[in-house]
Amino acid sequence: MKHIIIVDCQEDFCNPEGALYVKGAEVAVENIKKYLESLKDEKDTVNVIFTVDWHPLTHCSFKENGGQWPVHCVKYTKGSNIVEPLIKAAYSIQKYPEIIKKGSDENKEEYGAFAHFINEFLSNGEVEFKVNGDNFDYISFYREDDEFIICGVAGDYCVYETYKNLKCIGMNITPYYDGIAFIGEKFDFEKQFELESEE
């Protein structure tokens, strides 16, 4: 199974008028859209997973609350919406793409979408992820040999941290760099992960 993880492609990050616009996000979104469209013939073996920032107004990451970022992706607001072209492209592959919400605890900064997942390798070779999120329970089962493709915004924060979450438990994950927009300089995830692992 191939899992396409699309990280935080939300209006506040991808729209030039968004609260925390990431330069180059529109190009990344267009490339992700084309990539999803290219997978239509493989849809029976493809799973689309969106991650979203889902913040309360009182979130600790906001400058007005002592954090480093402007108010962004407040749950149920326009800025928190996944950009429409990707929703449409995802629906052409599967009827109900998965959505993982993060950053809903006002006292916790949460860049990686899988950071708070309780995981354990089961005897049958599968990994079990469980999360108690914002008014929902999420349980999925992924085989250890499944392929994960990751893309989205911002490459140097939430995309890379989500990559690390899965890499740390040995999952097979590959960045789709044409579908990643960075706030700072672009970098190689694998090399950065190796450097951090050596520290």
Note the pLDDT of residue 145.
Answer: 74
Total domain count, the chain: 1
Tens-digit pLDDT profile for residues 135-162: 333 445 566 678 999 999 999 999 999 9
Percentages helix, strand, coil for the chain, rounded to the nearest 5? Answer: 30, 30, 40
What is the C-alpha to C-alpha distance for residues 153 and 8, in angstroms, rounded to an integer? 6
Cβ atoms of 100 and 62 within 8 Å: the answer is: no
Note the pLDDT of residue 122.
Answer: 36
Cβ atoms of 85 and 33 within 8 Å: the answer is: yes
Note the pLDDT of residue 172.
Answer: 87
Tens-digit pLDDT profile for residues 1-56: 899 999 999 999 999 999 999 999 999 999 999 999 999 898 888 999 999 999 99
Share of the chain above pLDDT 70, in %: 85
Note the pLDDT of residue 167.
Answer: 87
Note the pLDDT of residue 124.
Answer: 44
Note the pLDDT of residue 43.
Answer: 83
175 lies in which domain range? 2-198
Which run of H or of E encompasses 35?
Answer: helix 25-37
- E strand map for 40-81: 46-53
3-state secondary structure of 195: helix
Note the pLDDT of residue 117.
Answer: 59
What is the C-alpha to C-alpha distance for residues 84 and 128, in angstroms, rounded to an integer? 31
Tens-digit pLDDT profile for residues 74-91: 999 999 999 999 999 999
Note the pLDDT of residue 61.
Answer: 96
Rounded to two decimals, the pTM is 0.88
Tens-digit pLDDT profile for residues 92-148: 898 888 899 999 999 999 999 987 654 443 344 455 554 444 433 344 556 667 899
Quick one: how many helices (H) and strands (E) in the chain?
Answer: 5, 8
Domain CATH number, residue 67? 3.40.50.850
Q: Give the other-Cβ count within 10 Å of 162's Cβ.
A: 26
Residue 100 φ then ψ, to 5°: -110, 120
